[in-house]
Amino acid sequence: MSKPDIHAVLLDRDGVINFESKDYILAPEQWRPIPGSLEAIARLSSANIPVAICSNQSALARGYFDNSTMQAIHAKMIGAIEKAGGHIAHTAYCPHGPDDGCACRKPKPGLVIEALEQLGMTDKPHNVVFIGDSSRDVQAALAAGVVPMLVKTGHSDIDVIYTESVKLYPDIQIFADLASAVSAILE
């Protein structure tokens, strides 16, 4: 498979940009970037490749925190990304729980479609990459016509995720972390 001409990059948040927690990221002080992730986003920004975030945040639906706390977590993340020289063009997140039946919660493509619309990429999803750490991310990317990639920095069993993902997309690429995935995109 030839490498697509990449016009935008979509990222899952927890496990891709920042360390994931089985107990959720519930406060700004719990948000900690994975080494190299902020610089990777800055490299994309320097290459004029817009970056958007697509993240399930069911802790909102579960009542573990409120929208103002969610915004504070995102403000900390965006501030850290900007301090490193990066820019986030759009942040899409699903505030629903797993059983709410919404159209945005990954593996459904709603968040990815929202990001494509905000980036003006709805007519060229094949030129967009979604970097995630779960098969849900791969399913959402494929449902929206976006090229999926995986990183190993999430807390789930990556071998199982990779096996599931290869069945969905045989050409899936897997990288140690966001920094190595961005290096592959920019080479």
Any idea which residues carry the catalytic annotation?
12, 14
109 within 8 A of 140, measured Cβ to Cβ? yes
Residue 182 and residue 125: Cα distance in Å, rounded?
A: 18
Find all residues with CB under 8 Å of 179, minimum gap 6, and list them: 35, 36, 37, 39, 40
43 within 8 A of 182, measured Cβ to Cβ? yes
133 within 8 A of 154, measured Cβ to Cβ? yes
